[in-house]
Structure 1
């Protein structure tokens, strides 16, 4: 009975993971797979430890590590043409990481003009300081990110207020 419950739980987890995988962005899929692999390995290790069958895993690791070390040493000695390929791949990953860290032109917002700032806040050209502050307060209460708005709208409203108050 316990195995059936465990099998059902694994099936539900696999189905939810597949749904998450399909709905994720392509650049996030590799990260998701790695996370799920590590979580799965940890769960298997815990289950093996609970059932008392973890000893064969330790023996397998003890066997694989020296074999892996010798294989990598053999590959580096007998296939020297692999080293430039590995270095080129590492360099390409570093360049991609740098490009990802730098904001692109799509993230930049165009500067506000006084006419556009008045239109955003809904005030006239001869509006005073109190009217601008009141219009800003009314809009920001509706469109603040904490109340269902978004960062872009809140930043545009704040920029409009700053521009108009600077001009007064």
Structure 2
């Protein structure tokens, strides 16, 4: 009987958590999820302590940890010397993220710079079109190849980029 009551309580808790999570804006979902997980862990620790499977000190620590986190945030808002520390930490994280993004962009740009430039003849060979191919023939050949070699269909980025570059080069040549 005790297990049945426990199972019903867990089910109700899970249902409440899902309902709360479903109607929360996406930008606040992560914070809400962390809160619910911490509450669930605290309740599990208390339940284990009541049933004798966890020492009461362990349960007390599990219950106090979320409260300490909330107290730290409260003190951060009310003590003027903590606010600049938190702001400096947030700024350092933002700068680190920005430098990481810039490095990734530079690496991508240098990778595309290393690719050899296509000649018109190579572009024709890649797309298997003649020297007098029309715009429709070029687009059709491109479409057929990109369907085979697109990264989403088992191809790779390099092949897809070369096929796209060949199409772009040949279409530019037709315009001039």
Instruction: Give the TM-score, by structure 2 length.
Output: 0.45
Higher relative contact order (CA 8 A, sep 6+): 1
